[in-house]
Chains A and B, each alone.
Chain A
Amino acid sequence: MTIGTMFNLLTYASPLAELEVGKQFYWHLGNFNIHGQVLLTSWFVIGLLVIVSVLATRKVQMVPSGVQNLMEYALEFIRDLTKAQIGEKEYRPWVPFIGTLFLFIFVCNWSGALIPWKLIHLPEGELAAPTSDINTTIALALLTSLAYFYAGFRKKGLGYFGNYVQPVAFMIPFKIIEDFTKPLSLSFRLFGNILADELVVAVLVFLVPLFVPLPVMALGLFTSAIQALIFATLAAAYIGEAMEEHHD
């Protein structure tokens, strides 16, 4: 990988400026390969989310404070987002899925931007945001596809295929293509944004190790949050679209 070797040349500068693109820390599970560095950080993220959830609901109060307040704010935000996309009547069962998408991607992105993972050395590859690995984003995007198919079929049965001829019959090929482009665009948008942000920050840190990367890092935080929001909103919109009633 030429990009990889190019960036490996930069590694003498500092551990924070180090960047290894496309190098994976492989674990072998039977005949299958798994990217260990992705799973390690994702476990960290999952652990963080679970711990915060437990802290927030440990002693629930009518007048919230502290962690409970924060998580209630998050929950209300997620509910509003889901309600806006899916609609008042159907949104409730989808709150956990959409909400977890948002929280998981958001915490993944911010952990990549805020935690100096690179200081922890792995035999090969490096720790980074799990969302900067294509496997994670494709997994999430495919789950979203499954979710909206499930939503459509559960709501309308085989009538879901009626969606493909809405509003006119010649939309069928486009609608079918859409089923492929939706997960593709979802996964590549997230993957590209997060990876690009990490690359830009790492290159800038290598070139000018002081102060100059800070605005880009701040921008990275912003992009990370926006990407999480976009992914969750689009997923909710797809689900809402699949369940939409057509009156003709």
Chain B
Amino acid sequence: MIHSVLLLVAEAAAEEAKGGLFDIDATLPFMAVQFLILVALLNALFYKPLGKVLDDRDNLIRTSQAEAKERLMKAEALAKQYEQELAETRRQAQAVIASAQAEAQKIASSKVAEAQREAQVQREQAQQELDQQKADAMQSLEQQVDALSQQILQKILSGVSLG
């Protein structure tokens, strides 16, 4: 029944004047079918393989990016740790230097004090010796003065007695 109707329609179409812009015929279903075949073909040849490549690449990029980020974080943590250690070490070094300087200062000042004391002692000694010698010199001078004055006195006295 349907088949005969289709045949009638086809015959009617064939009897009509062929051609024209809006000549709709069996090209339409044929085109639809071959378009669907093209969809299937391209799906197998193009969309699936290349889509897989795109997804794989996305995954690769995402994972390597995550890895890189993780590594960067680790590196930053390490850098921070090193910096902290460095700061600690620097502080220790500073402390060592400060204590060494203090010690050196102490030693230097004690040495200076000792030297000053020694110098003081030596000076006092020298002063004492000097005083001693001065006293000695004075004493001998006095004796000489005494002798000389005795002599002068005798000379004068003798002159007077003669005169």
Contacts and interface: CB of A to CB of B under 8 A. Distances in A.
B21 A22 contact: yes
A176 interface: no
Interface residues of A, number: 50
B69 to A, nearest CB: 21
A99 B47 contact: yes
B45 A57 contact: yes
Nearest to B37: A46
A57 B25 contact: no
Interface in A8-24: 21-24
Main secondary structure of the interface of A (DSSP, over half): helix
Contacts of A57: 45-46, 49-50
Contacts of A42: 31, 34
Given A4-B19, A96-B47, A139-B31, A32 B42 contact: no
Contacts, number: 137
A54 B31 contact: no
A27 B75 CA distance: 73
Given A21-B21, A60-B50, A75-B50, A46 B45 contact: no
Interface string A186-210: 0000000001000000000000000
A31 B21 contact: no
B160 interface: no
A96 B46 CA distance: 9
A46 B11 CA distance: 31
Interface stretch (B53-61, B102-110, B125-133): B53-61
Contacts of A234: none
Nearest to B9: A31
Interface stretch (A33-41, A160-168, A215-223, A235-243): A33-41
A149 B35 CA distance: 18
A128 interface: no
Interface of B: 7, 10-11, 13-14, 18-32, 34-36, 38-39, 41-43, 45-47, 49-51, 53-54, 56-57, 60
Given A64-B53, A97-B39, 20 more contacts: A1-B21, A22-B20, A33-B14, A35-B25, A38-B31, A39-B34, A42-B31, A46-B41, A56-B50, A72-B50, A72-B53, A75-B50, A75-B51, A75-B54, A79-B51, A99-B47, A133-B27, A134-B21, A136-B27, A140-B35
22 contacts: A1-B19, A1-B20, A22-B19, A24-B18, A33-B26, A34-B27, A39-B30, A39-B31, A49-B46, A53-B46, A54-B45, A56-B46, A57-B50, A62-B56, A71-B50, A79-B54, A96-B42, A99-B47, A130-B31, A134-B22, A138-B24, A140-B32
